Amino acid sequence: MTTTIPPKIDFIDLKTQQKRIRENVDRRIAKVLDHGSYILGPEVKELEETLARYVGMKHCVSCGNGTDALLMALMAYDVKPGEAIFTPPFTFVATAEVVSLTGATPVFVDIDERTYNIDPAGLEKAIETFLEKKTGLRVRGIIPVDLFGQPADYDAIVTIAKRYGLFVLEDAAQGFGGMYKGGKTCSFGDIAATSFFPAKPLGCYGDGGAIFTNNDTVDEKLRSIRVHGQGVDKYDNVRIGINGRLDTMQAAVLLAKMEIFDEELKLREKVAKRYSEMLKGSVVTPYVNPDCISCWAQYSVLTDNRDAVMSKLKANNVPTAIYYPKPLHLQDAYKDLGYKRGDFPVSERIAAKVFSIPMHPYLDEATQDYIVGAIKASI
């Protein structure tokens, strides 16, 4: 193991990636500057076609960020007050936030102990329990989350959704590039959303997102919603929409990154496999369902003495992060829903133990050896 403390360890290394693609990025951005179509320019259309083809879906609608992607998807399905959407509490707030923004009510469902994704058995039980309560709310949809890069169990989730007449919105904000039973993320359920925040496996140099669907009518609605609900033009407003456009510069960056994306996914898998082999027995390493391939948006581990371990790692120049320290049902923003501590024990337990360590395609073995050594010495 390497014992010399490195001068700096990147949690996510975008600089090395940029060196690889800089010439391509510069060329593509120069092209945008030359044609001057900065909003919904030709690169946006090219990107949407590239992403749809990559995922295996008929339509891709790009947008301003991952939150807009989720919100636009719900708006396309006309989600409104008086309706309930089921989703896990162990995720970034945007997953539930967009439900609230439509006026609908998020109903939380605990996660699977191993994958940290929504538990299908718990989902069906939650739907049944909710229906028995006769709240007056209409059960409408499910938003599973591909947490940390691993797809949720979509066969089970879609089966449940069909049984109760619900739509499924795949939240693949962390999952783009992952696979489930041979299919790529963003191709499951009725509609899917992802994020291109810079730290994502596929990220732009600003904010960006996309929605995927095979439904022609939904595609048309999304393109209208994206530009203030426009009809024949932007001054003909046929529905309520948002300003949700992806700018052309970001599309140019993403097109350059797509050219090396599959190679980077393989490098992420190599880093993750090595971590898991070396950290076995020291911390609880990520479990990946045999039916899944993770895109490793994060490499997250569990330990009982998290704060002490993270403090020691910081002293040894190893950056860490916690995703997510407080489940959504315990957030002040959702206190009106009436949840309390203990309602979702798995989410609460994982939230108290989880932390993430450096993960990116360019993490060399010497640095990885040092990180692992520092973790083992901190336990």
- Domains of the chain and any CATH numbers: 17-255 (3.40.640.10), 260-378 (3.90.1150.10)
Q: What's the pLDDT score for residue 234?
A: 86
Contacts for 133-138 with beta carbons within 8 Å, 24 or more apart? 135/84, 136/82, 137/82, 137/83, 137/84, 137/105, 138/82, 138/83, 138/84
Residue 2 CB partners (closer than 8 Å, separation 6+) = 366, 367, 369, 370, 373
Q: What's the pLDDT score for residue 5?
A: 67
Q: Which amino acid is at 301?
A: V
Strand (E) or helix (H) holding 171: strand 167-171
**Residue with the two structure tokens 């229906």:** 131
The tokens of 132 are what? 């028995």
Q: Omega of the bond prior to 324 within 30 degrees of 0, cis? A: yes
> How many helices (H) and strands (E) would you count in the chain?
11, 12
Distance of alpha carbon 62 from alpha carbon 314, whole angstroms: 38
Each residue's pLDDT tens digit, 338-348: 999 999 999 99
Q: What's the pLDDT score for residue 3?
A: 58
Q: From the CA atom positions of the chain, what is the Rg in Å?
A: 21
pLDDT exceeds cutoff 60 at 2: no
Distance of alpha carbon 175 from alpha carbon 202, whole angstroms: 10
Q: What's the pLDDT score for residue 7?
A: 72
The tokens of 369 are what? 């050896």
- Averaged pLDDT score across all residues of the chain: 97
Each residue's pLDDT tens digit, 18-52: 999 999 999 999 999 999 999 999 999 999 999 99
Distance of alpha carbon 12 from alpha carbon 104, whole angstroms: 35
Task: Please answer whether residues 355 and 310 qualify as being in contact, where contact means their C-beta atoms are separated by less than 8 angstroms.
Answer: yes
Instruction: State the alpha helices, DSSP H only, in the chain.
Output: 14-35, 42-55, 66-76, 94-101, 120-133, 154-164, 216-225, 248-279, 306-315, 345-353, 365-378
The tokens of 342 are what? 């203990």
Calculate the alpha carbon distances from 128 to 134, 190, 274 in Å. Answer: 10, 22, 42
For residue 359, the SS3 value is coil
pLDDT exceeds cutoff 70 at 1: no
Q: What's the pLDDT score for residue 273?
A: 98
Task: Please answer whether residues 7 and 219 qualify as being in contact, where contact means their C-beta atoms are separated by less than 8 angstroms.
Answer: no
Calculate the alpha carbon distances from 364 to 9, 36, 93, 264, 271 in Å. Answer: 11, 40, 33, 13, 8
The tokens of 98 are what? 């967009």
Average pLDDT over residues 210-222: 98
Higher pLDDT, 233 or 207: 207
pLDDT exceeds cutoff 80 at 158: yes
Distance of alpha carbon 90 from alpha carbon 112, whole angstroms: 10
Strand (E) or helix (H) holding 63: strand 59-63
For residue 268, how many C-alpha atoms fall within 13 Å in the half-sphere facing its CB?
27
